[in-house]
Chains A and B, each alone.
Chain A
Amino acid sequence: MKSTQSRIKLKELIYLSILIALGIVLNLLEPPISPIPGAKLGLANIVILLALLFFGESEAIVVALLRAVLSAFFKGMLHPIPLFTSMGGSVMAAIAMILVYDLCRKHFSIVGISIIGGIVNNLTQFFIVLYITRNSALWYYFPILLFLGGISGWIIGLITKILYNKMKTVVKNGT
């Protein structure tokens, strides 16, 4: 019994490591897309959502945190302010997606959960930047950030849905 249990644990650990590695690579490779500098599609959120769907709440948070910190390491950018902003967005998005997933899964599909994650990610980063700069003129960007967060969440959700359906059989049954 014990060896089966530890094998499951080990398998989960390996899958989570692969997800984190994938998240780092996706984050490093994805090009900036929007007119607002630094704003990206957020492909790394795919792996957070997959971790939530396959393994659970705390695993999703761990993936979100480690992905943000390790990405910063690989980029050589460990300045506390951008790191905090990126981590804050990532973790808050993970928490929001967990809450929706746990409390009202009936009403939201994977795409819906991802849209909420995208919006929360952008809003968290917006409010951190607002707090750091104390610049109320930045509210100008609020509607477009809200919209872009939703749209990128939508795209991320569609990708995640396809990946989830393809990976389902492997992750859940394979040994």
Chain B
Amino acid sequence: MKKGDKLLALILVVVFIFAIGQYTFINISKTKRAIIIRSDGEIVQQIPLNETTEIITTIKSKEGAVTVQIKNGKVHIIESTCHDKLCVKQGWISRTGESIVCLPNRISISIVGEEKNEIDSITH
């Protein structure tokens, strides 16, 4: 191992510790969450997320459309017009911070925590 290699290994270890810390920390606060859906870079829907939320909705973009299902505090894409269907294959997401992206359709769905002001104005 040369000097630069050791430095890279060190950076990877630091990033790993940081990542583990971030993912455990974010999921402590589970109260008041919301789902933000973006299409073509714009927010098109904000839905408060809790155990009783139950919605099936279709999101359109210039490129195509996806059908989103929200159930039992979880979200997934049921159907998509895209070719690779990676968004459908990803399955359910339920943790705060997680996202599903349908890249060909330019649609993304994220679960966000309560810190954001924009969500408070919707839920209250």
| Chain A residues engaging chain B, CB cutoff 8 angstroms | 37-38, 76-77, 79, 81-82, 85, 104, 106-109, 111-112, 115-116, 129, 132-135, 137-138, 140-141, 143-144, 146-147, 150-151, 154
Contacts and interface: CB of A to CB of B under 8 A. Distances in A.
B2 A112 contact: yes
A134 B4 contact: no
8 contacts: A77-B84, A82-B104, A104-B4, A107-B5, A109-B5, A112-B5, A135-B36, A137-B97
Given A109-B2, A133-B38, A150 B12 contact: yes
A113 B12 CA distance: 14
Contact of B2 (A79, A81, A107): A107
A147 B12 CA distance: 6
Secondary structure at the A interface, as helix, strand, loop or mixed, is helix
Contacts, number: 100
A82 B84 CA distance: 9
B110 A138 contact: yes
Interface string B40-67: 0110000000000000000000010000
B83 A77 contact: yes
A88 to B, nearest CB: 12
B110 A151 contact: no
Nearest to A146: B15
Nearest to B21: A143
Contacts of B103: 38, 81-82, 85, 129, 132-133
A108 to B, nearest CB: 4
Contact of A134 (B12, B15, B38): B38
B42 to A, nearest CB: 8
Contacts of B12: 115, 147, 150-151, 154
Q: Point out which of B3, B12, B16, B36 has the most chain A C-beta atoms below 10 A from its C-beta.
A: B12
A132 B8 contact: no
Given A82-B104, A143-B19, A137 B99 contact: yes
A90 to B, nearest CB: 16
Given A109-B5, A135-B110, A79 B99 contact: no
